Amino acid sequence: MALREIIFLPEPILRRKAKPVTKFDKDLQTLIDDMIETMREAPGVGLAAPQINIPQQLAVIEYAEQDDDEGAPPKPKKLYVIINPEIVKASEEKVLGVEGCLSIPGLLGEVERHAHIQVKALNRHGQPVKLKVEGWMARIFQHEIDHLNGVMFTDKATRVWKPQEDEEVELD
């Protein structure tokens, strides 16, 4: 495994629709492992292939939902590899939340996203998966799928700002 360089705006690849993945070979598995390592090292909660200069419909996401019970032990993180993802259902309910991005360092934005979505994709072995995600996880999935379509969070943000030193947000 190797760390990959994360690219930043205004790199043109970040504005292009990525191509579907068609080969599920050893090179793809290496790329996925490298993306997971790069995401964790950054540190981020998601990483799309265009962010490492690879124009493919591939993203990795790793996040643990927070427990409402303050005394509960932390929930384990879930790792997702989504290939050629498509949002097939989205709730009418939308939620405003703060987002950041590894490819736009130093900025945060308030973005409205669907509260619940259903995603159809392929896993790392090319097998179809259907995922129902909600809350912060739904936000991360939508953010990463936007990357695969050349859309950045700043395109959808109602407000963008430079964070204060004590302001924390999980980055994709």
Residues designated catalytic: 144
Q: Which pair of structure tokens corresponds to residue 87? A: 């949002």
Q: What angle do CA 61, 116, 53 make, to 5 degrees?
A: 30
Q: Which pair of structure tokens corresponds to residue 1? A: 């495994």
The DSSP line for 42-103 is: TT-SEEEGGGGT--BSEEEEEE-PPPSSTTSPPPPPEEEEEEEEEEEEE-S-EEEEEEB-TT
How many C-alpha atoms does 150 have within 13 Å on its Cβ side?
9
Nearest to 44 by CA among 59, 62, 31, 57: 62
